[in-house]
Amino acid sequence: MSLISSYQSYSYSYSFHVMTFEAGSRVTLLFDFWDVHGPAGMVLSVFVVLLLTVFYELLKVWKVQLGKPFEQPTQPAFPRPFPPPLHSSDCQRSSAVFASSLSESSLAPTEQAVPPPSPMNRWRLHGIQTAMHILQVSLGYILMLCVMSYNTWIFLGVILGSVLGYFIWFPLLSQI
């Protein structure tokens, strides 16, 4: 009988964390040493989480940017215009105009061919991309665990950091 009563007291000694969002200023994030006990600590924690999320968005842009120089262009920036057809009466006039004007090939857009990288540079680039991927995945899981603290302020910090990071960093992709 004592075995059953000790089992019951043991099974009821665990407290279960309610999984609903709360807006309090007390939370433990990720580790025991990151224990927030007041409004000032919460503001600082939300700011740190926001900065981590902005950095996460920057990592996504850097990873895309590293792969861009080695992509081969598939088409020119704008299509090449076809020259207008010449009639026999226009031949004498057009030959004089063409002789004094720029050549048609100099007006057409040119494609810049990127020389293929050396094998050593390819491995170095692949190593850097792998390290960035590890950092991005790790940071993503850390941010997910922060959200899983079910604190409304931390959740809003992650969302605001993602919006701010996207707003700041993704226009840089169009400049590449």
Mean pLDDT of 169-175: 83
pLDDT, tens digit, 9 for 90 and up, residues 67-104: 776 655 555 555 555 555 555 555 555 555 555 555 55
Mean pLDDT of 11-39: 74
pLDDT above 70 (res 129)? yes
Asked if residue 63 belongs to a domain, the reply is: yes
Of residues 176 and 8, more confidence is placed in 176
Asked if residue 76 belongs to a domain, the reply is: no
pTM of the model: 0.62
pLDDT, tens digit, 9 for 90 and up, residues 30-71: 777 878 888 998 899 999 999 999 999 999 988 888 877 665
Mean pLDDT of 16-27: 74
Mean pLDDT of 132-158: 93
Of residues 28 and 138, more confidence is placed in 138
Which residue range forms the structural domain that includes residue 127?
A: 40-70+119-176
pLDDT computed for residue 104 by the predictor: 54
Of residues 28 and 77, more confidence is placed in 28
| 70-106: b (≥16 Cβ within 10 Å) or e | eeeeeeeeeeeeeeeeeeeeeeeeeeeeeeeeeeeee
Asked if residue 149 belongs to a domain, the reply is: yes
CA atoms within 13 A on the CB side of 4: 1
Number of domains in the chain: 1
Asked if residue 97 belongs to a domain, the reply is: no
Asked if residue 17 belongs to a domain, the reply is: no
pLDDT computed for residue 79 by the predictor: 54
Asked if residue 13 belongs to a domain, the reply is: no
CB burial of residue 39 (10 Å; 0-12, 13-18, 19+):
exposed
Asked if residue 12 belongs to a domain, the reply is: no
